[in-house]
Amino acid sequence: MLIASLTALATLAGYAVLCAIQPFTVCRKCHGTGARKVTRHGVKVCRRCHGQRYRLRAGRRLNNHGRRIHHDGTRPNPSPRPRP
């Protein structure tokens, strides 16, 4: 049980490091070309990556969402009000 937990923790840590170093990955739908072959209509722009060829990793998207929630939930220290 300990080995399985350590393996899962090491895998998650490795993926977190990968998301920090290389946040974008090649689009799986168009294989990084930005275009998809359609049988009768020729070539169309990929709907998933919008022709950009890269997509944000799921782990990086989750990290950005958590950072945004934290940023929106915390506010800077209020400045002291001047006394009348």
Confidence check: pLDDT of 24 > 90: yes
Rounded alpha-carbon distances, angstroms, from residue 71 to 58, 67, 76, 79, 80 = 20, 6, 10, 18, 22
DSSP 26: E
Confidence check: pLDDT of 18 > 90: yes
Question: What pTM does this model have?
Answer: 0.67
Confidence check: pLDDT of 78 > 80: no
Tell which residue, 56, 66, 67, has the closest CA to residue 27: 56
Q: For tokens 């899962």, name the residue.
A: 8
Q: Are 12 and 53 in contact (CB under 8 A)?
A: no
Q: What are the structural domain ranges in the chain?
A: 25-69
Average pLDDT value for residue range 54-67: 92
34-57 pLDDT, tens digit per residue, is 888 877 778 888 888 988 999 999
Confidence check: pLDDT of 83 > 90: no
